[in-house]
Amino acid sequence: MGGPGGASRRLGWQADRVAAEAVTDGLIIVDKPGGMTSHDVVARCRRLARTRRVGHGGTLDPMATGVLVIGVGRATRLLTYVVGVGKVYRGTIRLGQSTLTDDAEGEVTGGADAGHVADAEIAAGLAAQTGEVDQVPSAVSAIKVNGVRAYKQVRDGKTPELAARRVTISRIEVSAIRRSEPGLVDIDVEVACSSGTYIRAIARDLGARLGVGGHLAALRRTHVGDFDLEQAATLEELAELADPVTLPLPAALRRVFQVRDADVEETRILSHGGPLEPVGIAGPYAVFGADGAPLAVVSERGGKARAEIVLVGAS
């Protein structure tokens, strides 16, 4: 963790700000610590930003650390776009033990001596999980089954049946295989994947394929789309700043989207909810008004550029 100097070096342009009455709309890129839920981090950021209008763009389990994107004020409306972007993780898979939660936080429920498992078998088992795959989420997840969260059903002694979901796992790279404890094998991996992928399930499925059981022993998220650990600050660093918002709304929009600049008439039309003429930009993109202020997020459909989110005048 960085001390006072760490925050100033990475976020120095923020550190000299004078505390403001108004809340800055924008994004906070947090390096989430272990032992906290994503909602715990949101609660801390609410206190730091002095507003209740705070949300997060993609849950991290309490055990996991790393990049968690937090939205403040009007920028909470951008989180729906952040949630769906690709992610990169570094983690450790432990073979030889299965757990109730498929990670290190759950009690051990089974397993077998994994000492005989060859490196080539591990590589083949991970390769089988790359590409577009149908993955069954961990039973201890927030997915609802018959209206009840799966993790609650597990706590109540039930075994929820979760349907497989199509996800894309672009790559699983092994950086180390360690056999430091009898009967156990630890595999350090980096995983690039689509939103909705459960890294715990990769560990569980590898252990099942090899017949020895497996779980996720450690996890750190290094990237959420274009956001990475280089831009992230710890909660301790953020607490040192007069304003914890590290990417004000205009900068956040330019980071997440392509940009279109509107003229005076286009600004008037779009700020009143009307459509603009298309300009051929694919996907949702940000529009800035004639005064340079954030105006909307639009997409081109039906021959018009229509607002998905209007930001001007929003509170």
Q: Give the residue numbers annotated as catalytic, written as ranges.
A: 61
Q: Which residues contact 124 (CB under 8 A, 6 or more apart)?
A: none
Distance CA 28, CA 35 (A): 20
Task: Report the Cα 279 to chain-centroid distance in Å.
Answer: 31
CA 204 to chain centroid: 21
Among residues 270, 261, 315, 252, the alpha carbon closest in space to that of 291 is found at 261
Phi, psi of 18 (to 5 degrees): -85, 140
Structure-token pair, residue 8: 């100033």
**In angstroms, what CA-CA distances link 266 with 91, 109, 143, 192?**
48, 62, 42, 40
